[in-house]
Amino acid sequence: MTGQVAVVTGAGRGIGKAIAEKLASKGAKIVVADLNVQDAEEVAKELSEKGTEARAVAVDVSSSESVKAMFEEVVKGFGGVDILINNAGITRDSLVLRMKEEDWDAVLNVNLKSVFLCSKEAIRLMAKKRYGRIVNIASVVAFMGNPGQANYSASKAGIVGLTKTLAREYASRGITVNAVAPGFIQTAMTEKLPENVKEEMLKSIPLGRFGTVQDVATAVAFLASPDAGYITGHVIHVNGGMYM
Ligand code: NAP
């Protein structure tokens, strides 16, 4: 990936940060894109200190204006983009009967609409070079469902359909589009779950442990590499066997 430019959304912490670090370790230049600009700047600083060309960009991935502005900045700073990792995501959990319409809309906008908006801008740039790698972060709940996560599981299932359609639409331009579906990964997002829920989940994982951010970043880095050039429209499950 030496010299390639990677945009990683939600890279200020958690899985996105680990993906940014992994791609940087393989030689990519990194755009650390996050709603939380302070976190993004800190990650960009850490990467720069290790010799990576990195810059932080403040973005709200659910806003088309903000996404367009980010890609303008990417073009100004780096000249284009080779790799896009659509990682930013949120949860607003509750059972359907208690779920507020605004929680449905927020999750669908940040998790799913964002993939449409960011991919659209990136594909314009990638198509010119006839090369691109897009990796979308889905979730095991897209395949299994999960009580309390109607909005989240619908958004992640939507990502799977969108991934396959983008893969078919832009294969002829040398752009591959795949997804990674993590299971239960130890991050701030899962930290807030009640202990009894975590214990129950652990029982359903054949490999007997929760995943790490590195487990996810490794799969993402493979799909984002030139080596994965004959793989498109696929989902790699990183879940310890929780769903097969
Ligand atoms: P996280 O720790 O909550 O990090 C998410 C990052 O995305 C945060 O830095 C957050 O910024 C940023 N973000 C939120 N809304 C945004 C927006 N509108 N625009 C730009 N950035 C925004 O989450 P994570 O656990 O690393 O999860 C990363 C991805 O993996 C998500 O798509 C998630 O759904 C998926 N995933 C996670 C798990 C898991 O077990 N953790 C499992 C399956 C899938 P703020 O700091 O401002 O909130």
Q: Supply the residue whose CA is at minimum distance from atom 8 of ligand 1.
A: 10
| Atom number, ligand 1, closest to the C-alpha of residue 156 | 34
Domain membership flag for residue 138: yes
Closest CA to 150 of 205, 97, 113, 86: 97
How close is the Cα of 54 to the center of ligand 1, in Å? 20
Task: Tell me whether residue 170 is one of the annotated catalytic residues.
Answer: no
Q: What is the CATH classification number for the domain harbouring 92?
A: 3.40.50.720
Please work out, in degrees rounded to the nearest 5, the angle formed at the alpha carbon of residue 218 by the alpha carbons of 50 and 175. Answer: 95
Closest CA to 46 of 54, 38, 37: 54
Tokens, residue 49: 């200190």
Describe the crossing of helices 101-108 and 150-170 by its angle, rounded to 10 degrees.
30
How close is the Cα of 227 to the center of ligand 1, in Å? 27
Domain membership flag for residue 21: yes
Domain membership flag for residue 231: yes
Q: Find tokens 């979730």 and name the residue.
A: 139
Domains: count for the chain = 1
- CA atoms within 13 Å, Cβ hemisphere of 14: 21
Q: What is the pLDDT of residue 197?
A: 85
Domain membership flag for residue 244: no
Q: What is the pLDDT of residue 185?
A: 96
Domain membership flag for residue 243: no
pLDDT truncated to tens, each residue of the chain (244 aa)? 999 999 999 999 999 999 999 999 999 999 999 999 999 999 999 999 999 999 999 999 999 999 999 999 999 999 999 999 999 999 999 999 999 999 999 999 999 999 999 999 999 999 999 999 999 999 999 999 999 999 999 999 999 999 999 999 999 999 999 999 999 999 887 888 889 988 988 999 999 999 999 999 999 999 999 999 999 999 999 999 999 9
How close is the Cα of 172 to the center of ligand 1, in Å? 31
The beta strands (E) that lie in 80-227 are given as: 83-86, 132-137, 175-182
Q: What is the pLDDT of residue 206?
A: 97
The boundaries of the domain holding residue 150 are 5-237
Beta strands 175-182 and 235-238 are parallel
Domain membership flag for residue 242: no
Domain membership flag for residue 120: yes
Domain membership flag for residue 11: yes
Q: What is the pLDDT of residue 193?
A: 82
Largest Cα–Cα distance of the chain, in whole Å?
A: 51
